[in-house]
Structure 1
Amino acid sequence: MPTNFNDSPHRRLNILTGEWILVSPHRTKRPWQGKTEKSTVTDLPAYDPSCYLCPTNGRMGGGINPDYQKPFSFINDFSALLPDVKEESYENGLLYAESESGICKVVCFSPDHSKTLPLMNVSDIVDVISLWQKEYMELGSKEGINHVQIFENKGSIMGCSNPHPHGQIWAQNKIPQEVHKKIGNLKAHWEKHGRSILEDYIEQELKLDERILLENEHFVALIPYWAVWPYETMILPKRKIANIALLTEDEKQAYAEILKQLTVKYDNIFNTSFPYSAGIHQAPTDGQEHPEWHFHMSFYPPLLRSATVKKFMVGYEMFANPQRDITAEQAAETMKSLSDLHYSLLD
Structure 2
Amino acid sequence: MEELRWNPIRQEWVIVATHRQTRPLLSRKQCPFCEEVEGAPGELEVISIPNLFPSLLENSRSVSNESPLFVKCPAYGKCEVVIYSKDHDKGLKDQSTDSLIELINLWIDRYEELGSKPGIKYVFIFENKGRLIGVTLDHPHGQIYAFPFVPEALQREVESSKKWMEKHGRCLFCSIIEGEKEKSERIIFENERFVGFVPFFASLPYEVHLYPKSHLGSITQLDDHGKKDLAESIKAIITKYDRFFGFELPYMMMLFQSPTDGKDYPFYHFRIEFRPLHRSKEKIKYLASVESGTGVFINDTLPEEKARELKKTKWKE
- TM-score (norm: length of structure 1): 0.79
Cα deviation, 1:188-217, whole Å, max 9, x if unaligned, reads 012222321000110111010011111111
**1:312 pairs with 2:286:** yes
Task: Specify the alignment match of 1:51 in structure 2.
Answer: 31
CA contact (8 A) 2:37 2:45 kept: no
Pair 272,191 (structure 1): closer, same or farther in 2 beyond 3 Å: same
Task: Specify the alignment match of 1:252 in structure 2.
Answer: 227
Task: Specify the alignment match of 2:99 in structure 1.
Answer: 124
Pair 257,210 (structure 1): closer, same or farther in 2 beyond 3 Å: same
Query: Using the alignment, how far apart are the partners of 2:160 and 2:97 within structure 1?
Result: 34
Task: Specify the alignment match of 1:203 in structure 2.
Answer: 178
**1:176 pairs with 2:151:** yes
Task: Specify the alignment match of 1:274 in structure 2.
Answer: 249
**1:185 pairs with 2:165:** no
Query: Using the alignment, how far apart are the partners of 1:281 and 1:224 within structure 2?
Result: 15
Cα deviation, 1:213-238, whole Å, max 9, x if unaligned, reads 11111100011111111100111000
CA contact (8 A) 1:53 1:65 kept: no
Q: 1:101 aligns with which of 59, 76, 80?
A: 76
* Residue correspondence of structure 1 range 126-145 to structure 2 within 5 A: 126-145=101-120
Query: Using the alignment, how far apart are the partners of 1:82 and 1:328 within structure 2?
Result: 40
- Gaps of at least 5 residues in structure 2 are 1-27
Query: Using the alignment, how far apart are the partners of 1:74 and 1:104 within structure 2?
Result: 9
Query: Using the alignment, how far apart are the partners of 1:199 and 1:56 within structure 2?
Result: 40
Pair 336,282 (structure 1): closer, same or farther in 2 beyond 3 Å: same
CA contact (8 A) 1:56 1:67 kept: no
CA contact (8 A) 2:45 2:85 kept: yes
- Larger displacement relative to structure 2 (333-342 or 102-111): 333-342
SS in 1 for 2:71: strand
CA contact (8 A) 1:55 1:66 kept: no
* Residue correspondence of structure 1 range 141-180 to structure 2 within 5 A: 141-180=116-155
SS in 1 for 2:188: strand
CA contact (8 A) 1:267 1:274 kept: yes
* % identical aligned pairs: 34
How many residues are paired up? 290
- Gaps of at least 5 residues in structure 1 are 1-47, 59-63, 343-347
C-alpha deviation, 1:269, in angstroms: 1.8
- Larger displacement relative to structure 2 (312-321 or 286-295): 312-321
C-alpha deviation, 1:91, in angstroms: 5.8
C-alpha deviation, 1:302, in angstroms: 0.6
CA contact (8 A) 2:253 2:274 kept: yes
CA contact (8 A) 2:84 2:142 kept: yes
Query: Using the alignment, how far apart are the partners of 2:306 and 2:300 within structure 1?
Result: 10
Pair 219,265 (structure 1): closer, same or farther in 2 beyond 3 Å: same
**1:339 pairs with 2:314:** yes
CA contact (8 A) 1:213 1:336 kept: yes
SS in 1 for 2:255: strand
- Aligned amino acid, residue 91 of structure 2: T
- TM-score (norm: length of structure 2): 0.86
Query: Using the alignment, how far apart are the partners of 2:234 and 2:101 within structure 1?
Result: 10
- Aligned amino acid, residue 308 of structure 2: E
- Aligned amino acid, residue 292 of structure 2: M
